[in-house]
Structure 1
C-alpha cells in the first residue's frame, strides 16, 4: 500500500478512532503496525522526554509506540534510532509505529483497525508535561527577579526573562504527574553571566519563590492550548498559556498536555543539588 505520513490526533482530545493499516511488518517477536491516523503519542527518537502512550489496537495491548520513517521508493521502514534522515526529508514519510507482540494479533495491510489510548495514563503524562513547562518558566522569572544574572543573556524565554532553562537543561523526563529536569551550572553558564554559586547557596529560597509564583499563576485558571501547524507527526506544535505576563507563553513542544490550569490542584517544585555543578528540579503534580 501507499505509505503516507501519519495523521496525529493526540492533541485533539481524541482517545479512540478507526483507521486503515498501511504497513504491517514483523521484527523479531514483535509486529510493527503503521496506520493512516492514530490517537497514540509516540516517544521521540531525538528527545525522548515524553513516554509513549499506552492502549490497545483491536483490543490487543500496544507494547510500545515509536517514531518511524519510511523510504517511499523502497517502502522500507526504519524505527527509532535507526532512522537515517531528518524530518521532512524528500522521499520519506514519518509515521507512528504501534508495537505489538507477534503472537497476539493477525492483521493485514488495508484492514481497518480500532485504536484506543489509555486516557487516564495519557492525562497523567499531560499534566506532568505541562507542569514542567510552568515550573521552568517560574524558575526563569525568579532567577531574573532575584538578580542572579550579572549581565544580559542573549536567550529570552516567552515572557522575556533570561532563559536559564534553555542554557542549563541537560535532560528532561516526564512521567505520571511528574517532570524531572536536570541542570548543569558549569563554566559556560557562569561566563554567560549566571551567579551559579549564589544559586546553589540560595537553592531553598529559590525553590520557595518558584512555588509561590506557580501558585499565583494557577489561580488564573487559564486555558492551555496546543497550536498545531499541520496534522502530521513532524508538523510543528506549540504549547500556549496566558500567565498575565508581558506576552502569552508559547513553547515549541510535541508532547500531550493538560487543557487548563484548572486541572491542577497543586504543582510543587523541589530543587536539589546533586554535586558542585548540577541540580535537579522535581516537579510534582496533584491533580483534581
Structure 2
C-alpha cells in the first residue's frame, strides 16, 4: 500500500485513549523494528522539532493479538519516502507533505497493511504526562509574572500580559510524569535584551516563593482546561487555553493536558543555577 498523502487524524487533544483504525502503511526500519501508520490514532507522538513531551505507551490490537507500541513519533511523507528521524525535513504543515504518526513496533508484530486495529493507550502514563504538561504551562506563566520587575526594556508579552521570560530564555523543556524540567539561558544575549540576570542570582529564593504563591492561588480553583483546534489533522495548530484570575491564557501547544486545574492538587517549583550561573533550572512538581 502506498504511503499516505493526508495527515493522520489525531484524538489525543480531546483526551482520547482508545480508537479503531485502519493500517495504511507498514515500513521496516533499519534497526529491525517497523513503523505502522494508521488513518487515525489516539497516541500522542514525540515531536522532533520540540521534543518536550515524550510518546504515549500502549498497544495496537489485531485479531492476531496485541503488539506493544515501543515508540511513537511524528514523521513526514512526500508520497515517495517516509522521513522518520531526529529532524523533520520540512516545517510541520508544509503544503504537499503528509504528516503522520509512526507507531514503532517489533518486526514480528502481527500487523499488516489493510488490517483494522484497536489502538489502546496506557491511561496511567498518559495522565501523569498530561498533569505534568499543564503544570509546566502554569509554572511558566507564574515565573513570567514573578520576573516582571527584572526587565529594563520592553519585550513580547506572554498570554497574561507579563514580559515573556519563558519564551525569551528557554533552552529546553522536558515534560515528566507529574511535572517538568525547564532550563533557561541567563547569558549575554538575555542581558542585552534588558534582563537583570545578576539580580536573579541574588533573589532566586524570593522569585521561587513568588512563583509558588501564584501557583497556590491558581490551583485552588476548578478552572477548565481545553485544547482549541480547527480540525483533527496532525499538522493543524493547537492551543492550550485556561481561564486564570489574571485573564484568559492561550498558548500554542501540541501536548496532552488535564481537563481542569482541580486535578493538579498541589503544585510547586524549585529554582536552581548551574555552577557558573549561566543557566537556571526550574523543576515543577505536581501532587494530588
- For each residue in 1:218-241, what CA deviation from the matched residue of structure 2 results, as whole angstroms up to 9, or x when unmatched? 112201111112211110100001
Partner residue, 1:244: 245
Partner residue, 1:90: 95
Structure 1, unpaired ranges of 5+ = none
2:104 paired with 1:68: no
- Counterpart CA distance in 2 for 1:10 and 1:186 is 37
Partner residue, 2:119: 115
Partner residue, 2:18: 16
**Pairing 1:26-175 to 2, within 5 Å after superposition:** 26-28=28-30, 29-58=32-61, 59-72=66-79, 74=80, 76-81=81-86, 83-103=88-108, 105-144=109-148, 147-151=149-153, 153-175=154-176
Partner residue, 1:281: 282
Displacement of 1:106: 2.4
Residue 265 of structure 2: SS of its match in structure 1?
strand
- Counterpart CA distance in 1 for 2:92 and 2:47 is 12
**Pairing 1:228-239 to 2, within 5 Å after superposition:** 228-239=229-240
Report if the CA contact (8 A) 2:49-2:87 is conserved: no
Residue 142 of structure 2: SS of its match in structure 1?
helix
**Pairing 1:188-207 to 2, within 5 Å after superposition:** 188-207=189-208
> Quick check: 251-260 or 84-93, which moved more?
84-93
Displacement of 1:87: 2.2
TM-score (norm 1): 0.94
Partner residue, 2:259: 259
Structure 2, unpaired ranges of 5+ = none
Coordinate RMSD, CA, aligned: 1.2
Displacement of 1:68: 1.0
Residue 93 of structure 2: SS of its match in structure 1?
coil
Residue 188 of structure 1: SS of its match in structure 2?
helix
Report if the CA contact (8 A) 1:230-1:236 is conserved: no
- For each residue in 1:55-102, what CA deviation from the matched residue of structure 2 results, as whole angstroms up to 9, or x when unmatched? 001122100001111112x2x211133532222233321100000011
Residue 7 of structure 2: SS of its match in structure 1?
coil
- For each residue in 1:120-148, what CA deviation from the matched residue of structure 2 results, as whole angstroms up to 9, or x when unmatched? 1001001111101100100101111xx22
- Counterpart CA distance in 2 for 1:216 and 1:82 is 39
- Counterpart CA distance in 1 for 2:183 and 2:152 is 22
User: How many residues are aligned here?
Assistant: 280
> Quick check: 117-126 or 186-195, which moved more?
186-195
Residue 267 of structure 2: SS of its match in structure 1?
strand
Residue 162 of structure 1: SS of its match in structure 2?
coil
Displacement of 1:184: 0.9
